[in-house]
Amino acid sequence: MTPITDIPGVSYLKSPARSAASDNAPVAETVAEILERVRQNGDAAVKEYSQRFDKAELQQFEVSAEDRAAAVEALDPQTRKDTEFAISNVRGFAEAQFATMGGLEDYQPRPGVHLGHRVIPLERVGCYVPGGRYPLLSAPIMTIVPAKVAGVTEIVACLPPNAHQAMIAGCHLSGADRIFRIGGAQAIAAMAFGTETVPRVDKIVGPGNAFVNEAKRQVFGPVGIDQLAGPSEIYILADEAGDAEMIATDLLAQAEHDIRTRVGLITTSESLGREVEAEVDRQLATLSTAETAGAAWRDYGEIILCADEETMIAVSDEIAAEHLQIHTENSQQMAARLRNYGSLFIGPLASVVYSDKCAGTNHTLPTMAAGRYTGGLWVGAYVKVATHQWLTPEGVEQLAPPAIRQSDSEGLEGHRRAAQLRLDRLQAKQGL
């Protein structure tokens, strides 16, 4: 990753006080122990870690049908309406995306050579739903609803035992088939390996803390994962047209997630940069979540001054922010020139908060520059595209000779024989 200061025409009005990188060795060791214990001892180990980390002594991990119904019934009526509004939007967008993913049944590159692919839903997916300091009601919607749209056979949700009851309701309304009160690395282990009560899944999705993230990294291989997520990020591109109050508000809205949230302004206007810095300080004085948001701004906040628009684009593409907002006079044209980001918010009316909660696009997005090579969670993450092929005799005549020659040149006798056998039998049948 190129240091931002190595890009010509770049300087800092405010630089981050700390690096986003951290030593993960202690977390990795603890997680490795948890995974092995759960692999060996199943439910007993899960129960032990739930008692140790969550102070929860549960007689059963799975949420019963009666408890699911009670959680939904206990929802505030307006909260339920808002949850169903978000589910409807996320489902609608996922369905529109899924409609673009057609199968390919019969492509013929040569006469008699038939190729294709099928879009096959995964059989069982595990959705980790974080607890956190607040009930993040949008979290289960973003992981469970697209899985449902994709046609996943069974959706398993895990959430910490002390998660708010509304989160259970959210899992139920989103379409989870089974819900377990298990959190942390032990939840990832249970879904990855299976226990006496938790079924083994094929893929694990959803964000979590450092222990959840590390557990996903360590179990990857036998099971799939969506991505490895770091602390949340928001960067805003702005020129002299930017509104300092709005920009500061959006930066702090994301900063209140976590004290390690990365928040930044990339601008061609020094005066706007100074105004935003002053506005952040002003708003922090009255923000109820200032303890968290202020720490994030102090330690990881940055204001990057760029000589021109080209430099601003280069800096943004190098950072590849999870959330990238555009507050420039030519926001649509600017959007078309950007290539590295998790999700893009074009124009000052498109705030991250709408996507985080209810707009319809997914809020599970790549961080730590992963936006340079991948997008966020979407309906396509819950299916696999598997190819197939079949040949007619004419197809064998097309493919066998080059396959035989290639096998010979590679010294792979078995490959050559497999290709030759079919050609020989075909020619014998034809009396050649």
Active site residue 117: no
Which positions ≥6 away from 219 have C-beta within 8 Å? 35, 188, 189, 192, 193, 204, 225
Which listed residue (322, 327, 363, 397) is catalytic?
322
Which listed residue (257, 277, 302, 323) is catalytic?
323
Neighbours of 278 (CB within 10 A): 12
Cα(329)–Cα(269) distance, rounded to whole angstroms?
12
Q: Which of 153, 132, 134, 157 is nearest to 144 (CA)?
A: 157
Q: Which of 186, 208, 190 is nearest to 198 (CA)?
A: 190
* Per-residue CA distances from 312 to 19, 122, 291 (Å): 21, 41, 31
Amino acid at 323: H
Whether 396 contacts 423, CB under 8 Å: yes
Neighbours of 161 (CB within 10 A): 20
Which positions ≥6 away from 103 have C-beta within 8 Å? 116, 117, 118, 119
Amino acid at 105: E
CA torsion, ordered 415, 416, 420, 422, to nearest 10 deg: 10
> Which residues are known to be catalytic?
322-323
